[in-house]
Amino acid sequence: MKKVLGKIILVAITLIAALAMLYPTYKANNLEKIQKEYLAKAKQAKNSSDSLAVIESFQKQYGEALMKAKNSQLKLGLDLRGGMYVTLEVDVAKLIEETATKQYVDETFMQVVEKTSAEARNTETDVIDIFLKHFDAIARPKGKSLISYFDFGNVRDLSEEKIIEKLRNDQNQAIDQALEVLRQRIDQYGVAEPNIQKQGTTRIIMELPGVSNVADMRSLLSTTARLEFKLVKSNRQIVEFFYRVDNLLKGKLEPVVAATTDTAKVDTTKIAKADETKTTAKVDTTKKKADSTKVAADTTKKSDTTDPYAGLPQEEAAKKYLADHPFTRLFTTYYLPPQKNANVVPIYYTVNQFPEGEYMFKIMEDSLPRFKEIMNRPEVKALMPAELTIAFDAKPDPRFVEQNINVFDFYSLKKEPELTGDVIVDALATYDPSSNLPVVTMAMNADGAERWSKITGANLNKRIAIVLDDRVYSAPNVQSKISGGNSQISGMGSPEEARLLEIVLKAGALKAPVEIIEERIVGPSLGEDSIRNGITASLIAVILVVLYMAMYYSTGGIYADIAVVLNITLILGILASLGGTLSLPGIAGIILTLGMAVDANVLIYERIREELHKGRSFKSALDEGFSKALSAILDSNITTFITGLILFYLGSGPIQGFALTLMIGILMTLFTAILITRALIDITLNSGKETISFGEKKIKTIK
């Protein structure tokens, strides 16, 4: 017994290690079932507080254990579990535009950027090279140089070579930073073993197994996370701008800049025929008429009292109003009187007389594309006050959502932010105790806290919009000076949306926007079919191999079968402990390993049978079989391992999955086929048996 004690320990330790490595997978599956039960209870809760309490109860009891188990469990690939395959492209052209000094940017530069962006979508050529090519063709003939648009204050002796070098560095940093930020977001979201890698100079490929909420993931990936705090400037200045746009579109106002296309004019006959029900003049629940008597709630005297709609029938007056206001008819304008508890008053743009004060704007979702198209015209941009910008609410007005109408507030904001998200050091999704609605609280660093205190102190009773990626989440009035650097974002529609915003703010902002250019969804049902087919194929392979070995090599074949089963268990366990992912190609690698595993035993057993036929003793034949077959086994397995290594380093995705399981399988084959099988045979012989059948015919042996 003492002779084989070490071999018994070897077999026992191997078996225990294999099961221990797979235990986290078993534990994670059980905890995920418990988590589903808690989530079901949370959904049945009467209010959001009770729902949150249920989720927090699970996190307190099982959260840490589930996280540890998930980190060590065997993860399933995209083709088995279902999920998303996404290709993203970093918008380097936008990065170049934003790197340029804003006051120097003109129409010529924007034309270069637009040409660069258009060409970059259809080629894998370096974007900086494309930009320089178009810059040479468009800007240089007009006497422009790179120094005309770029001014890096921290660069000494600025030259075109240094500008190009800086742009290339910014491009590389933007892509690397996007890769890291997206990885952090995905990790915090809880995606198990995502495959994220760079492709070329501007693209990122992501495989996200197990993702079921596609819309949330799409938002998480494409959000740039540029958080800004901007003063609301929805005053008479912006209303007068809207009035001038109407006149420009009607041809009554000469464009400030020459348009490259004939976009300054609008076909008024088409406007007159537009469906009146699509105008945002109907946003208010009370009916509004294009009546000149409701022009503006200005208590001051008006110099122009001419009514262009006097004497016209109501329907004809309404059509004329729509034709006369091709831009302002797209939205509704309200004036907010300064008197306390005063009602808002609708504003119509019949005369250029608007009271001082604050205004509010609402627009229907159907009108947004037309509004943005007009605002993007060069001649309209030239009329826009240089210090202002327009931003829309992130979510439609909930009062109208119940009526299946999406109405958005929009704001005129000071273009330059008072503060940016760079000062945010922490974020937390929680609930506002006063309203019980989801919010995200933010903590700022010392510099941000000091600046925020000064900003809020200097803007009492004014509105400051919290803007994320050019969308307004909230625009509260500053009631008092805010010290301590803590602030809050409201306007989220659900706890899930608040959690996504928390993740984005924690992970940081992207230096350049990213765009999803390819997206493939693998449904859970397809993944289940793949798992079922993969398991079926594996079981058939195992059964055929086990039966063949047991029938052909008798007792020795059974020991080989035990080694094969242990081999598969070890492969899965090691794959789990290494943080690897099992995919369909990985299953193919395991099936291939089955054949290679028994192939080693076949070489050994055939050599033993040959030695027994020569008349050697069983012990001598056994030693000879294991020693002489070793060189052939090593040759075949090492060459296959080298092939797998090449596939792993040069391949990607599925090829790497196949190569990894193949290489682990080869190492485990050498271990189980040589050491474990020999240990089992020696343990059996030590128990009192003199020989073991390897399927050979009965012959006399020399002892």
Which backbone phi and psi does 629 adopt, to 5 degrees?
A: -80, -15
Q: What is the pLDDT of residues 465-483, one digit of tens each?
A: 888 778 888 888 887 888 8
Residue by residue, DSSP assigns 120-152 as HTT--S-HHHHHHHHHHHHTGGGT--GGGT---
Strand pairing category for 203-209 and 83-90: antiparallel
| 149 neighbors 109 (Cβ within 8 angstroms) | yes
pLDDT category at 232 given cuts 50, 70, 90 is very high
Same domain assignment for residues 577 and 652: yes
Boundary residue ending a domain (44, 73, 102): 73
Return d(Cα 85, Cα 62) in angstroms, integer.
30
Does any domain span residue 56? yes
Same domain assignment for residues 275 and 253: yes
Same domain assignment for residues 194 and 135: yes
In degrees, to the nearest 5, what angle opens at C-alpha 398 toward C-alphas 393 and 400? 105
pLDDT of residue 700 exceeding 50 = no
| pLDDT for residue 352 | 84
Does any domain span residue 79? no
Same domain assignment for residues 494 and 397: no
Number of domains, the chain: 5
| pLDDT for residue 242 | 94
Same domain assignment for residues 237 and 322: yes
Same domain assignment for residues 399 and 263: yes
Residue by residue, DSSP assigns 461-507 as TSBEEEEETTEEEE--B--S---SSEEEE---SSHHHHHHHHHHHHH
Return d(Cα 17, Cα 672) in angstroms, integer.
13
Same domain assignment for residues 135 and 145: yes
Determine what percent of the chain is predicted with pLDDT higher than 70.
Answer: 84
Q: What is the pLDDT of residues 248-292, one digit of tens each?
A: 988 766 554 433 333 333 333 333 333 333 333 333 333 333 333
Q: What is the pLDDT of residues 357-369, one digit of tens each?
A: 899 999 998 899 8
Q: Burial of 498 by CB count in 10 Å (0-12 exposed, 13-18 middle, 19+ buried)?
A: buried
Does any domain span residue 29? yes
Boundary residue ending a domain (416, 445, 479): 416
Does any domain span residue 663? yes
Q: What is the pLDDT of residues 86-106, one digit of tens each?
A: 888 888 888 888 888 877 888
- Check residues 311 and 433 and name the one with the higher pLDDT: 433
pTM of the model: 0.50
Which backbone phi and psi does 696 adopt, to 5 degrees?
A: -80, 160
**Pseudo-torsion of CA 545, 549, 551, 557, nearest 10°?**
-140
Does any domain span residue 700? no
Same domain assignment for residues 542 and 588: yes
295: which 2 tokens? 């022009």
Containing structural domain, residue 38: 2-73
Q: What is the pLDDT of residues 375-430, one digit of tens each?
A: 988 889 889 998 999 999 888 887 777 777 889 999 999 998 998 877 887 788 88
557: which 2 tokens? 């074949």
